[in-house]
Structure 1
């Protein structure tokens, strides 16, 4: 299913879990962190039907400031994600690299994706 189809299917559901994670990473370990993060996101979207989207971005002037937006079909999907081998590998593998973590729960207003 394309990102557009996923968002169309779920955008009106009140059960969506939308979470923003704002992290500050040890700048001397940023490449290592990015490797863990990339593996975790690829595994999550490939293996977990309840993981609708995950986007990771970094500040252009402070690349060790990373923001991750996660959208899950519902709370059960989110809770299941927290117990997957790939998430636990990421969490345990990056624990010493993360200087700070802020988790923000969000309510969706509207999703937009170009349909080409």
Structure 2
């Protein structure tokens, strides 16, 4: 199908406007997001129990809560009891709702005697890049 000059111009402008609107919306959303690192130290003897509780809480939150956007949990290779979690919430309201959910409260109760140290660090997302799932 060949497009004449007017139709090509219209298509180009439509795509450009859509891209601009989407980019501005994305930038505005990033400004209101809560991005946090949770640095956690766990009792090494109870690491498996902690990891199971964490995975259940993360999966439940992402599945049930619209405002929970991202969870990544990683363990230090040399000391797996040192865990860092990247959490991204749509906004402050989403975070406040999250910490009041039954699944989060269940997680906190399950790990209260397993976590030996917790540091929450609010950070600013500079950028993100991911490959689409194949």
Asked if TM exceeds 0.5, the reply is yes
Residue number among 124, 128, 134 corresponding to 1:107 in the alignment: 124
Partner of 2:111: 94
- Mark the CA change 1:42 to 1:9 in structure 2 (over 3 Å): closer, same or farther: farther
In structure 2, runs of 5+ residues without a counterpart are: 1-22
- Stretches of 4+ moved more than 3 A in 1? 8-11
- Mark the CA change 1:10 to 1:46 in structure 2 (over 3 Å): closer, same or farther: farther
1:108 is displaced (CA, Å) by 1.1
- Mark the CA change 1:22 to 1:9 in structure 2 (over 3 Å): closer, same or farther: farther
Residue number among 13, 33, 39 corresponding to 2:50 in the alignment: 33
Q: Find the residue that maps to 1:113 and give its secondary structure.
A: coil
Residue number among 89, 99, 123 corresponding to 1:72 in the alignment: 89
Task: Indicate the structure with greater strand content.
Answer: 1
Partner of 1:49: 66
Task: Indicate the structure with greater helix content.
Answer: 2
TM-score, L = length of structure 2:
0.77
TM-score, L = length of structure 1:
0.89
Q: Find the residue that maps to 2:88 and give its secondary structure.
A: strand
Q: Does the aligned pair in 2 maintain the 1:10–1:16 contact within 8 Å? A: no
Number of matched residues? 109
Q: Which structure: larger Rg?
A: 2
Instruction: Give the distance between the partners of 1:19 and 1:49, measured in 2 at CA.
Output: 17
Residue number among 66, 74, 78 corresponding to 1:61 in the alignment: 78
